[in-house]
Structure 1
Amino acid sequence: MRAPLFRSFWTYENRLLLILFLAFGFVFFDRLALSFLFPFMQDELDLSPTQLGMISSALALTWAISGAIAGAWSDSRAKRKALLVASVLGFSICSALSGLVGGFISLLVFRALMGLAEGPVLPIAQSLMIQSSTPSRRGLNMGLLQGSSAGLIGAMIGPPVVIGLATHFGWRVAFYVTVIPGMLIALCIWRWVHEHPGGAPTAQAKPVPISRWALLRERNVLLCMLISCFFLTWFITIISFAPTFLIKHRGFSAADMGLVMSCLGAAWVFWGFAVPGISDRIGRKSALVIFAPIAALCPIALVYGDSAIALGVVVFFTYTGLGCFTLFMATIPAETVPPQVLTGALGLIMGAGELVGGFLAPTIAGLAADHYGFPVAMWISAGGALVAGLLAIGLKETAPLVAPKPAVAGGRP
């Protein structure tokens, strides 16, 4: 009885979701590790908040470039699996090499190389998952893949693990061990992920070529790019500066900082699938307009919250933005553009966000923190979420239950 039940659950769709969930989750485990370890390495390497912002910016810049290029390349050549394996191996090795650094320059180089390897993971994983998802589960699958995975592995499990390793064995060891899960995930991708659903390409008519620049004339794509820029400002500024802000400026202990960041991770997991699920009922546009301003309250709470427990509760209820990410980075584009340019569109939206919100914003926030005080970085983060919510008002609704015309699964013909 158990075997048939297991086989009915262990479908390719569920297996793919689990593998990609782990892959993107460990992308953020590695990416966030620097933020959690920075208070431990800051004095030894003589690093400033401005330099932390520059390191985050370098990773985001290379992430943006490689993500956009890889998305367009994989659309034209359908070689997503091999590129995904190479990316997972690459970012895992670069994360481990961060433990060998002797100063700012070497750390900057290794994190930039890591961003180069990480960039292709999300657009490729999204396109693979969309292609293999049943229509009734598309929103849930994308929410789990992009939102909940990074929250659970990167922001909830990550803080106590890396902080514990740094406390007992040193921050360099904490970086070294990050290579192990990456190697195992790359092996799973190579063994069980198919380039096409069912393991073999389906005979299709050759798609009509569509210019990548033509995507910019699509209102939803252009607005999603702009929303990505400001929402990434909110997100990257928080994850880059919050741990150091709580310890160095607010006077929290490392344990209390870890507690707050774990609550942030729990919120990331919950809202990562809750917001996309709610958007199925009330619409993608309405969900963004409602939850973006709520997300703006999270960095403000970090400025004024007194106790770790109270702050953790407030963070949980206000850290709604990662559920919004799934909407403007995956679901809305998938319900807007033709499937033959979907990966390129996703890479374009992610690349724009990483370039502005990931590359420029942390450096600006770091400089502002050095000159005007650490709280300014949190106010910059809050402003990013507010602007994203205002931009969402201009979106065309795409949710099948809410849109004026039914959306076509997988994109418009």
Structure 2
Amino acid sequence: MNNNKYATYENVLLSVLFLTFGFVFFDRLALSFLFPFMEEELQLSNSHLGLLSSVLALAWAVSGALVGAWSDRIGKRKPILIVAIILFSLCSALSGMVTGFISLLIFRAVMGLAEGPILPLSQSMMVEASSPHRRGLNMGLLQGSAAGLLGAVIGPPVIIAMAEAWGWRQAFILSLIPGLIIAFLVWKYVKPDTASQSASQTAAQPVDQSLDGSADQEEPKPRGLKAYTTLLSNRNILLCTLISCFYLTWFVVLISFTPTFLVKVRGFEPATMGSIMSCLGVAWVIWGFVVAGVSDRIGRKPTLVIFTLLAACCPMVLLYSETPMVMGALVILTYTGLGCFTLFMATIPAETVSRGQIATALGLIMGIGELIGGFVSPTLAGFAADQYGLQIVMFVSSGAAIVAAALSLLLKETAPAVLARRNQAQPVADDTETNSPAYLRNNG
């Protein structure tokens, strides 16, 4: 009975958080899809688009890292999540009332502050509620498939259709409604203070334990700057942070400039551009759970390397494909990177650190990645596009993915099934690995 109860809540939580994070990306990517409609009225350039993407990413970086760590300390995530959803929905709607670049920049910055904590909060809640055998799949569906389905499959045609029918301002304003509905669903169906539930409630969940059987969450944990430096001293956390910087460069540069690139450089109509962007979304949804499932079987490290190299080909597809049909098909085959995001930004860190540090680690990796890959890179890419043409952004995106693949080669494996096979092959395992919280959680 209890196991059925926990399994039911696991599915309910996954569904609600799926909608939550998916709508975050619906709002985040709306500006890219609406930019061709608003640039003339607001007198915006490619540099402005890069700065708008960058300031939102900077806000994500700051709030994601700080609020993620704060939520670990206070053990309360649900009320923070509800406030964040309402706030970013309001800011997205207010983007439809701007009169120029500066006001739009301010609203996007506040929106980024609200959206930043949602990923570390959602993933840490999902880890708490997930059965061990479903952890990777749940996290992949939440972060990869949700963002792809709502942000890149449903988003482009819906946003573009609303802009063509009623104007880009109304398209922004109407985005408030689903945000308020999702906030209500979180309030009604998500259990409060998931991270601090009693031991009886978490019996069916992965629990970090030391060798003497005590829970690691009872051990004193470093706070403030020391917490971040301690995490970065861990090889996997440091590598995931660096991978995040380059992978977010690949993603943010690609997703920010592709709609304008397809219309201005490739000469496609807005409807054709929307269809190609939907192909990106289809790939996002598919690879979001496929990559996670493959990594459960062959390991996080080889999966990350293989699919990242494939993702490096996607910008070249957009640059050189001759027809929209060929481009769409190849995009679906090569836009694999968003499936990899769950690995370095959530699954590997969650399998590396103790439970009480998960939100802090996820916020740190996302925060630094957003700062470099989401803030610095699009700004530089925007200026480069104005100087050398929009084609340059595709080479920037592809090169960043290649660097991320090289860094992935240095990771230590964390997949439970792979570690279990290694343990069976080598009964006397290395003390460092077998004594780690992650190893005990995955195999104990």
TM range (shorter): over 0.9
Asked whether the 8 Å contact 2:75–2:196 carries over to 1, the reply is no
Q: TM-score, normalised by structure 1?
A: 0.95
- The Cα of 1:207 is off from its aligned counterpart by 2.9
Measured against aligned partners, the alpha-carbon deviations of 1:364-391 in whole angstroms (never above 9, x if no partner) come to: 1101101011110111000111100000
User: Aligned letter for 1:160?
Assistant: P
Name the CA distance, whole Å, in 2 between partners of 1:161 and 1:262.
Answer: 10
> Which one of 283, 295, 308 corresponds to residue 299 of structure 2?
283
Establish whether residue 338 from structure 1 lines up as the match of residue 354 from structure 2. yes
Asked whether the 8 Å contact 2:77–2:194 carries over to 1, the reply is no
> Which one of 64, 68, 81 corresponds to residue 61 of structure 2?
64
- The Cα of 1:197 is off from its aligned counterpart by 5.0
Asked whether the 8 Å contact 2:75–2:193 carries over to 1, the reply is no
User: Aligned letter for 1:207?
Assistant: E
Q: How does 1:3-402 map to 2 (within 5 A)?
A: 11-196=8-193, 200-202=197-199, 206-210=218-222, 211-212=226-227, 213-402=229-418
- The Cα of 1:10 is off from its aligned counterpart by 7.5
Name the CA distance, whole Å, in 1 between partners of 2:109 and 2:283.
Answer: 28
User: Aligned letter for 2:87?
Assistant: G
Q: TM-score, normalised by structure 2?
A: 0.89
User: Aligned letter for 1:162?
Assistant: I
User: Aligned letter for 1:408?
Assistant: Y
Any unmatched runs of 5+ in structure 2?
A: 201-214, 424-433
Asked whether the 8 Å contact 1:336–1:411 carries over to 2, the reply is no
- The Cα of 1:200 is off from its aligned counterpart by 4.5
Name the CA distance, whole Å, in 1 between partners of 2:177 and 2:411.
Answer: 42
Asked whether the 8 Å contact 1:68–1:348 carries over to 2, the reply is yes
Name the CA distance, whole Å, in 2 between partners of 1:248 and 1:198.
Answer: 48
Seen in structure 2, the aligned counterparts of structure 1 residues 412 and 391 have a Cα distance that, compared at 3 Å, is farther
- The Cα of 1:281 is off from its aligned counterpart by 1.1
Q: Secondary structure at the match of 2:356?
A: helix
Name the CA distance, whole Å, in 2 between partners of 1:255 and 1:90.
Answer: 31
- The Cα of 1:206 is off from its aligned counterpart by 2.7
Seen in structure 2, the aligned counterparts of structure 1 residues 198 and 223 have a Cα distance that, compared at 3 Å, is closer
Measured against aligned partners, the alpha-carbon deviations of 1:175-197 in whole angstroms (never above 9, x if no partner) come to: 01111111011111111111345
Asked whether the 8 Å contact 2:162–2:171 carries over to 1, the reply is yes
- The Cα of 1:167 is off from its aligned counterpart by 0.4
Name the CA distance, whole Å, in 1 between partners of 2:316 and 2:192.
Answer: 44
Seen in structure 2, the aligned counterparts of structure 1 residues 409 and 320 have a Cα distance that, compared at 3 Å, is farther
Name the CA distance, whole Å, in 2 between partners of 1:275 and 1:161.
Answer: 27
User: Aligned letter for 1:298?
Assistant: C
User: Aligned letter for 2:135?
Assistant: R
Question: Which structure has the larger Rg over C-alpha atoms?
Answer: 2
Asked whether the 8 Å contact 2:251–2:397 carries over to 1, the reply is yes
**Count of paired positions:** 408
Asked whether the 8 Å contact 1:71–1:123 carries over to 2, the reply is yes
Measured against aligned partners, the alpha-carbon deviations of 1:136-170 in whole angstroms (never above 9, x if no partner) come to: 00010000000000000000000000000000100
User: Aligned letter for 2:51?
Assistant: M
Asked whether the 8 Å contact 1:37–1:166 carries over to 2, the reply is yes
Asked whether the 8 Å contact 1:79–1:195 carries over to 2, the reply is yes
- The Cα of 1:307 is off from its aligned counterpart by 1.5
- The Cα of 1:297 is off from its aligned counterpart by 0.6
Measured against aligned partners, the alpha-carbon deviations of 1:59-106 in whole angstroms (never above 9, x if no partner) come to: 000110000001110000011110000000010000000000111111
Q: Which piece of structure 1 moves more, 301-310 or 150-159?
A: 301-310
Q: Secondary structure at the match of 1:194?
A: coil
- The Cα of 1:201 is off from its aligned counterpart by 3.9
Q: Secondary structure at the match of 1:401?
A: helix
Name the CA distance, whole Å, in 2 between partners of 1:337 and 1:199.
Answer: 17
Name the CA distance, whole Å, in 2 between partners of 1:359 and 1:320.
Answer: 22
Q: Which runs of 4+ in 1 moved over 2 A?
A: 7-10, 195-208, 403-413
Q: Which piece of structure 1 moves more, 11-20 or 198-207?
A: 198-207
Q: Secondary structure at the match of 2:267?
A: coil
Q: Secondary structure at the match of 2:268?
A: coil
Name the CA distance, whole Å, in 1 between partners of 2:361 and 2:67.
Answer: 11
Q: Secondary structure at the match of 1:64?
A: helix
User: Aligned letter for 1:304?
Assistant: Y
- The Cα of 1:282 is off from its aligned counterpart by 1.0
Name the CA distance, whole Å, in 2 between partners of 1:378 and 1:264.
Answer: 15
Measured against aligned partners, the alpha-carbon deviations of 1:212-268 in whole angstroms (never above 9, x if no partner) come to: 111111000000000000000000011100000000111000011011000100000
